[in-house]
Structure 1
Amino acid sequence: MTVQALILAGGRGSRLGDVRKGELRIGGRTLLERVTERLGDLPAIVSTGPGPTGIGADNTIADGTLSFGGPMAGIAAALRHLHGAAEPGDLLLTMAVDTPFLPRDFAARMIAALDGGAQAAYAAWGQQIYPTNAIYRLSGLYPLLSGTMPDSPKRLLQSLGAGPVDWTSRAAADPFVNLNTLADLIALGRRARAGDE
């Protein structure tokens, strides 16, 4: 079994003035660098959204044309990219690029959540759920390539009977808080300066 990691970095950052979130800096490092380093040695592909991108890495894939965009367009692009290269028994671990405090044990705990045979699981902080930070069995996703693709990760997870993996007992502050506005950027910068890594 191989774990395929997918960083969802295709958002337009419209509430931040149409900037690529992955290129924003928190604590002196870009969001993409921060999320990538949380994966340790796990190789990752980066979904960059449609059109040209400033991300120059070899491991990037552009979103395809779907009737919807957002994270599901990135997941669909990854499935097309992996189909034929990854085994159905492999796992797809997804995370949002704008999650600068992603837990260092994220991959290990999410992989363990599927030990009992579940098809998928998602991250949670108490009642707050994070459907873009999730894990799936590719065997449950590949059929979507020839059928109907749900229009959101939340609906996809519901269709697979996914359950939460809760971090409230493991972290003093929400490790999945994400960046959508200038106020978020300022608050997360303060959090990084305060030593929350």
Structure 2
Amino acid sequence: MEFDAVILAGGRSSRLGGVPKSGLEYDGATLLERALQAARGARAAVVVGPPQQGLRPGTLTAREDPPFAGPAAAIAAGLAALAGRPAAPGSAAETAPWTLVLACDMPHARDAVAVLIRELEGSPGAEGAMAISADGRRQPLLGLYSTAALEREVAAAHDSGGLVNASVFGLLARLELLPVPVPSGSTDDVDTWEDAAALGIDGPRRTS
């Protein structure tokens, strides 16, 4: 399956005292590095958020407008960056038919991505697959969605008031989505230092 990836890394981290989640470390890698690893099969990847250090070559960057406008606005910014990326010499830049949307604060998300791909490949006609946690919660920021459908809904949202602080569930409401149960723990995220401690996540990487 061909897909691009939109990695969301632009929240305020208010319950972490403003410490960016993307720079927290788990098992020797930052959460942003782990999110990019989870999206390793992507044809192109864009990180939406403030400037990041150490991104691998070819990784695109974008910023939601205005900054901290929420994940729905960040998804729109990521889609725009993917659509506007330069083409390789002698070819036209085209977005992949599917887009992985992934928040950077789920250290075990990689365990879910393969499941989403498998279920979506076996379900022609679906417009996407959304992760369902072991306790039954929907996680829209770990999902694989039709690029055309996302672009359609982003355009509709702009026509009806925009996406600043808009609901991601609202953005996705009209898509025909598969609810996909994913491995236990793969949707666990970091909102507080208590969450970080429970997951064994360390503070930001120290630089000399």
Q: TM-score, normalised by structure 1?
A: 0.79
Alignment of 1:82-101 (within 5 A): 82-83=82-83, 85-87=93-95, 90-101=97-108
CA RMSD of aligned residues (A): 2.5
Structure 1 residue matching 2:148: 3-state secondary structure: helix
* Structure 2 CA distance for aligned equivalents of residues 156 and 44 of structure 1: 22
* Structure 2 CA distance for aligned equivalents of residues 183 and 109 of structure 1: 28
Is residue 121–residue 157 contact of structure 1 (8 Å, CA) maintained in 2? no
Is residue 47–residue 74 contact of structure 1 (8 Å, CA) maintained in 2? no
Is residue 116–residue 130 contact of structure 2 (8 Å, CA) maintained in 1? yes
* Structure 2 CA distance for aligned equivalents of residues 41 and 91 of structure 1: 12
How many residues of Structure 1 are paired with residues of Structure 2 in the alignment?
182
Number of the residue aligned with 2:26: 26
Structure 2 residue matching 1:5: 3-state secondary structure: strand
Number of the residue aligned with 2:75: 75
1:147 has 2:156 as partner: yes
- The runs of at least 4 aligned residues of structure 1 exceeding 6 Å deviation read none
> Which stretch shows the higher mean deviation, 30-39 or 2-11?
30-39
**Shift of residue 44 of structure 1?**
4.9
**Shift of residue 53 of structure 1?**
2.4
Alignment of 1:46-65 (within 5 A): 46-49=46-49, 52-57=50-55, 58-65=58-65
* CA offset digits 1:118-146 (Å, max 9, x no partner): 11221011411111101111121222454
User: Aligned in 2, Cα 1:166/1:183: closer, same or farther, shift over 3 Å?
Assistant: same
Number of the residue aligned with 2:115: 109
Structure 1 residue matching 2:15: 3-state secondary structure: helix
**Shift of residue 161 of structure 1?**
2.9
User: Aligned in 2, Cα 1:137/1:48: closer, same or farther, shift over 3 Å?
Assistant: closer
* CA offset digits 1:148-177 (Å, max 9, x no partner): 25622212222213231102xxx4x42111
Structure 1 residue matching 2:5: 3-state secondary structure: strand
Number of the residue aligned with 1:132: 141
Gaps of 5+ in 2: 85-92, 202-208
Gaps of 5+ in 1: 191-197
Q: Could you tell me which amino acid in structure 2 is paired with residue 79 of structure 1?
A: L
* Structure 2 CA distance for aligned equivalents of residues 147 and 68 of structure 1: 21
Q: Could you tell me which amino acid in structure 2 is paired with residue 109 of structure 1?
A: V
User: Aligned in 2, Cα 1:79/1:59: closer, same or farther, shift over 3 Å?
Assistant: same
User: Aligned in 2, Cα 1:96/1:64: closer, same or farther, shift over 3 Å?
Assistant: closer
Number of the residue aligned with 2:199: 188
1:165 has 2:176 as partner: no
> Which stretch shows the higher mean deviation, 155-164 or 20-29?
155-164
Structure 1 residue matching 2:138: 3-state secondary structure: strand
Is residue 61–residue 77 contact of structure 1 (8 Å, CA) maintained in 2? no
> Which stretch shows the higher mean deviation, 69-78 or 35-44?
35-44
Q: Could you tell me which amino acid in structure 2 is paired with residue 100 of structure 1?
A: P
Structure 2 residue matching 1:18: 3-state secondary structure: coil
User: Aligned in 2, Cα 1:156/1:147: closer, same or farther, shift over 3 Å?
Assistant: closer
User: Aligned in 2, Cα 1:74/1:145: closer, same or farther, shift over 3 Å?
Assistant: same
Q: TM-score, normalised by structure 2?
A: 0.75
* Structure 1 CA distance for aligned equivalents of residues 42 and 147 of structure 2: 17
Instruction: Say which of 117, 120, 125 aligns to 2:128.
Output: 120
